[in-house]
Amino acid sequence: MATTAPFTTHYDQFIAELTALTRKYGVAIQSVGGVILADAPGEFRNVTYRADISSGDLYPEFAEN
């Protein structure tokens, strides 16, 4: 897990955009300890999400390159 300044900036930008999406669509995410940070730029370029609305679960799926 990266903790360098560029990744902190990316995390802060992500939170700002997530806030905007929450306000736009009326969907909020509650997560405790569920954040995964990329170790390198582009590492998550193929990520998708599996969402189960009946349980409220949201899982990232990391495709192999």
CB 64 within 8 A of CB 48: no
What is the SS3 assignment for 53? Answer: coil
Q: Where are the domains of the chain?
A: 5-62
pLDDT given for residue 65 in this prediction: 57
How far apart (Å, rounded) are the C-alpha atoms in residues 51 and 53?
Answer: 6
How far apart (Å, rounded) are the C-alpha atoms in residues 52 and 61?
Answer: 13
- What is the tens place of the pLDDT at every residue in 6-47? 778 889 999 999 999 999 999 999 999 999 998 888 899 999
- pTM, whole model, 2 decimals? 0.76
